[in-house]
Amino acid sequence: MSVPFRKNVARMRGYQPGEQPQDGGFIKLNTNENPYPPSPGVRRAILAEAKDTLRLYPDPDATRLRRQAALTYGFELPRVIAGNGSDDLLAMIARAFIGEGDVLCCPTPTYTLYDTLVRIQGGKVRGVPYPDDYSLPPGLFRARGSVTVVASPNSPSGTSVPLATLDRLAAEVTGLLVVDEAYADFAEENALSLARERANVIVLRTFSKSFSLAGMRIGLGFAHPRIIEGLAKVKDSYNMSRLALAAGEAALRDTASMERNAARIRKTRERLVSRLPGVGFTPFPSRANFVLARRSGGKSAKPVYEELKNRKILVRYFDTPRLRDCLRITVGTDAEIEALLSALRKIGG
């Protein structure tokens, strides 16, 4: 006998994460990880934590990590929440703000997990297509949802929305505005000031990209204390492991190391952007640690993705009408990007 799932769960597809090959040997440019190691202090903190406290539950309030985050980013403690990656914070937001039939608005294409989380809640996504230049679509200002989410820089486009535009959006949306800043450390601007000044904005950060800690699962949210209190009610009580808490705190004590890596990645990004036209791809302007690039002549990029994979180079391909002629390429080391460009040259247009 099969047990019945809730209707919306039965109907939905689960989120499809990027491939994580379990055999080695790939140049992995598909899930926007950092090619450089985290701060040496992170390793020391993890080893110290692993010594004799793992039999005990972690701090359910992530107090030390949040205290350090408050100090690093200039917030008061009640304005900070920590999560098991920013995905966990997005799940808390969905649980707390989206019920049956409620609407989440976002410009599209964007991070597809938003859609999955809303479907789990029985809510609806109102996607407002980005124009070709990926400026914020005017329709989003009138979209009227319980939640509006803007990833800035956006994935998969890599483009960002100016702070002044996000500020105008915050003034006009109904409900909560989420600014998902997973890639903000690679950009020139960020929206943390909105989390201080506006009572309807939450800004999300992750340690998976700029801090080189995708494997630890650490995220932060900054917002008005009333929003933080509401989210804390719906979070898993022990949502972060002891090792993640220790790693996150140590990473924040050495932001200089993260900044150095981010600067290297920005430099490699600009080289990649300048060389892509020579191998048949037009890049979108990127403020992130990846570049979306369109294959010349409107041809599908799938065969190129497959050919790269045969050569043990993984990039991200999205099989949707808008993105079928594009590849999303994570900025790796200079050597990895050289290998990618050389493979693209051999594969040809």
Ligand X SMILES: Cc1ncc(COP(=O)(O)O)c(C=O)c1O
Which residues sit at the interface with ligand X, rule CB under 6 A? Answer: 32, 85-87, 111, 151, 155, 180, 182, 206, 208, 214, 219
d(CA 38, CA 279): 32
Minimum distance, C-beta of residue 278 to ligand X, in the bound complex (Å):
28
Q: Which is nearer to ligand X, 234 or 335 (CB)?
A: 234
Minimum distance, C-beta of residue 31 to ligand X, in the bound complex (Å):
6
Residue nearest to ligand X (CB): 85
Q: Which is nearer to ligand X, 201 or 214 (CB)?
A: 214
d(CA 260, CA 225): 32
How does DSSP assign 303-330, residue by residue? HHHHHHHHTTEEEB---STTTTTEEEEE
Q: Which is nearer to ligand X, 219 or 283 (CB)?
A: 219
Q: Which is nearer to ligand X, 68 or 86 (CB)?
A: 86
Q: Which is nearer to ligand X, 85 or 248 (CB)?
A: 85
Q: Which is nearer to ligand X, 97 or 343 (CB)?
A: 97
Q: Which is nearer to ligand X, 241 or 347 (CB)?
A: 241
Q: Please report, to the nearest 10 degrees, the dihedral formed by the alpha carbons of residues 98, 103, 109, 110 taken in order.
A: -20
Per the CB < 8 A criterion, the answer to whether 290 and 155 are in contact is: yes
Minimum distance, C-beta of residue 164 to ligand X, in the bound complex (Å):
21
- Amino acid found at 85: G
- Residue 20 dihedral angles phi and psi, to the nearest 5°: -125, 85
Minimum distance, C-beta of residue 160 to ligand X, in the bound complex (Å):
11
Minimum distance, C-beta of residue 180 to ligand X, in the bound complex (Å):
5
HEC per residue, 25-63: CCEEECCCCCCCCCCHHHHHHHHHHHHHCCCCCCCCCCH
d(CA 46, CA 36): 18
Q: Which is nearer to ligand X, 248 or 283 (CB)?
A: 248
d(CA 250, CA 327): 35
Minimum distance, C-beta of residue 88 to ligand X, in the bound complex (Å):
7
User: Hey, how many other C-beta atoms are within 10 angstroms of the C-beta on 66?
Assistant: 23
How does DSSP assign 101-113, residue by residue? T-EEEEEES--TH
Per-residue DSSP letter, 345: H
Minimum distance, C-beta of residue 201 to ligand X, in the bound complex (Å):
16
Query: What letters, b where the CB count within 10 A reaches 16 and e where it falls short, cover 261-288?
Result: bbebbbebbeebbebbeebbbebbebbb
Minimum distance, C-beta of residue 187 to ligand X, in the bound complex (Å):
12
